[in-house]
Amino acid sequence: MNIEQYQELAALLETLGQSRADSMYHDWISAHVPTEIAPLVTELTHNDFRIIDSLGNAEMTIGDVAKELGFSQGGVSRRVNFMSDKGLVEKYHRGKNRKNVYLRLTEVGDLLRSFHRDLHDHIRTTTLERTGSFSNVEVETAIAFLKALL
> Which domains, and CATH codes, for the chain?
21-131 (1.10.10.10)
Q: Supply the pTM of this predicted model.
A: 0.76
pLDDT digits (tens, 9 = 90+) for 90-128: 999 988 888 889 999 999 999 989 988 998 898 889 888
Q: Which of 106, 113, 102 is nearest to 49 (CA)?
A: 113
Residue of 64 and 31 predicted with greater confidence:
64
Beta bridge partners of 90: 104
Q: Which of 103, 92, 102, 112 lies closest to 37, judged by CA?
A: 112
Residue partners of 96: CB distance under 8 A and separation at least 6: none
* Cβ contacts of 123 within 8 Å, gap of 6 or more: 21, 25
Please give the pLDDT value at position 24: 60
